[in-house]
Amino acid sequence: MSVEAPSRLTPIGRVTPFRAQRIWEKNFIAYRRLWKVVFSGFFEPVFYLFAVGIGVGALVGDVPGPGGALVPYAAFVAPAMMAASAMNGAVIETTFNIFFKLKFQKVYEGVLTTPMQPSDIAIGEIGWALLRGVLYSTAFVVVMFAMGMTRSWLAFLAIPAATLVGFAFGAVGMAATTYMRSWQDFDLVTLVTMPLFLFSGTFYPLDVYPPFIQNVAKISPLYHGTELLRGFTLGIVDWSMLGHTGFLLVMGLVGAAVANRRLDGMLRK
């Protein structure tokens, strides 16, 4: 039985971190008995790292990294796997989970009978996805340090950089979820994320592609995330990193704005 939430019951007010934090607390309570599910999202990119970065890396040797410097293949792939982990974690959290809460559990109708606003819900859910991303990223950086896949102590800056990647994909993922009508629509999520994973400079430099594919790959959000993290983990920092950061920040802000507007329209009907 769903709870109707007429707009008159939802007082007008600005979003506050305190109200958005209630969404985090709710998710923490829900997931504290499912911590294995949360932690399992960390292993997929680590398995790819072992299989491709170390296994294939033994055959490949060194490859050109940022700035043209030669780096071991495992060190080249590792930050890309970290960026992919941030992308996958944020997308799964803000698509499948949000869709179930929105369409079946009708959680948010009940939430809006409190002083909370749709913007609080959007910020709270995106923030929860970022929290999961921080956990994955921190663990991944520790693994990279332990295996000697970093070249600089700047690698710790890859954690906030991966959080930015999660914000960009999480915000857009949540915005996309508001347009989905059935579970079949989620085939489109895989249709988008899989090419991004394979063709964003993840496993080899963009130079191996034809010029047209290179130009297409450079508008991939995961490409910008991968280059940002790769620069930090290899200790190669230049001005292009500001462009990568700006791209992801704008993507996240636009996605959050669309998600907020769509939720407001859907939940106030």
**All structural domains of the chain with their residue ranges:** 14-49+60-267
| H-assigned helices in 49-102 | 57-60, 73-92, 98-100
Measured over the CA atoms of residue 149, residue 154, residue 156 and residue 158, the dihedral's sign is: negative
pLDDT digits (tens, 9 = 90+) for 70-81: 888 888 988 998
- Residue 6, pLDDT score: 42
Q: Tell me if 232 sits within 8 A of 65, measured CB to CB.
A: no
Q: How far apart are CA 24 and CA 171, in angstroms?
A: 16
Instruction: Tell me, rounded to whole angstroms, the distance of Cα 246 from its chain centroid.
Output: 16
Kindly indicate the confidence band of residue 157, based on its pLDDT and cuts at 50, 70 and 90: very high
Does residue 225 surpass a pLDDT of 90? Answer: yes
Q: Tell me if 108 sits within 8 A of 263, measured CB to CB.
A: yes
Instruction: Tell me, rounded to whole angstroms, the distance of Cα 199 from its chain centroid.
Output: 17
Helix %, strand %, coil % for the chain, to 5? Answer: 75, 0, 20
CA distances from 187 to 129, 158, 200, 241, 253 (A): 21, 30, 20, 32, 25
- Residue 33, pLDDT score: 65
pLDDT digits (tens, 9 = 90+) for 7-59: 433 343 444 555 666 666 666 666 666 656 556 666 766 777 777 777 777 77
pTM, whole model, 2 decimals? 0.83
- Residue 13, pLDDT score: 42
Q: How far apart are CA 79 and CA 90, in angstroms?
A: 17
Does residue 178 surpass a pLDDT of 80? Answer: yes
Q: Tell me if 85 sits within 8 A of 45, measured CB to CB.
A: yes
Q: How far apart are CA 10 and CA 191, in angstroms?
A: 38
Q: Which two tokens stand for residue 173?
A: 């993922």
Does residue 168 surpass a pLDDT of 50? Answer: yes
Better pLDDT: 222 or 63: 222
> Which residue type is seen at 190?
T
| Phi, psi for 2 (deg, rounded to 5) | -85, 155
105 CB-near residues (< 8 Å, 6+ apart)? none
- Residue 227, pLDDT score: 93
Q: Tell me if 74 sits within 8 A of 54, measured CB to CB.
A: yes
Q: Which two tokens stand for residue 231?
A: 């620069």
